[in-house]
Each structure stands twice: as C-alpha cells, then as structure tokens.
Amino acid sequence: MHVSANKKGIKQYADVHNAGGVGDDSPHRLIQMLMEGFLARVNSAKGAMAHGDLEAKSIYISKAIGIVGGLNEALNLEQGGELAANLHQLYDYMNSRLLQASQENSEDKLDEVVFLMKDIKEAWDAIA
C-alpha cells in the first residue's frame, strides 16, 4: 500500500469512531483502552480455559463481548462510510466467534479474535 494512501486510510479509520470523552482521556485513548481491555480479557479467558475454570472463562468472554459492543457503538456509521460498515461487520463477526469459542472451549477461535483485534489496534495506534 502506498504511504499516503495508508495515512488516508488511517485518518478515515479515526473518523469512524465517535467516542465521547470521559475524564481527561481523549476519545482516541479511550478506544485504545477498550482494545487493550479486550485483549486482556481474551487472554484471561484463554488462561481460564487452559485451567478448566469454565466460570471464569465465561465471565472473561462476556466482558470481551461487552467491549466489542462498546467499540461497535463508538462507530460513526454516517461519517465512516464503507470503512465503518466493514468494522461493524468485523465486530459482529468477532462477537460470534467469541460465543463459539465459549461454547466449544476453543482456544483457536480466541486466537483468531486476538489476531483480528491486534490488526485493528495496530492501525488505531498508528494514529497520532
């Protein structure tokens, strides 16, 4: 991808989110915190799954699903255009995979959503 096209894509991604500020954190930082929280919850769910703690696994996956819901709600579908619509679909897919991972005790499905979120977060983090 051409560098200027990449910067344009990153700017469009930033325009997709319309989070309201809480406290002193910027909307950009709040989205980062949601993504970081998501990754932490999924990793905790994997640990619980590995130790056979099904209750903890369910709690962590539920929290991860809630975080994805927050990210989805932060999307500005009117201003974000096709990119926002694509992110909306991706977030829905991630939640579906999280539910499947919980039902099937599938670490592979958890790894998949971690990989997807890391890609999204990398693009978000690149926005200064």
**Does 6 reside within a domain?**
no
In a domain, 104, yes or no: yes
Q: Which pLDDT tens digit goes with each residue over 28-37?
A: 899 999 999 9
Residue type, 44: S
Whether residue 7 is contained in a domain is answered as no
Provide the CATH number for the domain around residue 49: 1.20.120.340
Asked if the structure places residue 14 within a domain, the reply is: no
Over residues 58-88, the pLDDT tens digits come to 999 999 999 999 999 999 989 989 999 999 9
User: What range does the domain containing 59 cover?
Assistant: 27-124
**What is residue 32's DSSP assignment?**
H
- Answer yes or no: is 15 within a domain: no
Q: How many CB atoms lie within 10 A of CB 43?
A: 14
Do the domain assignments include residue 47? yes
- The tally of domains found in the chain comes to 1
35-73-109 Cα angle (round to 5) = 50
Nearest to 99 by CA among 52, 48, 42: 42
Computed over every residue of the chain, the mean pLDDT equals: 86
Do the domain assignments include residue 10?
no
Q: What's residue 4's pLDDT?
A: 43
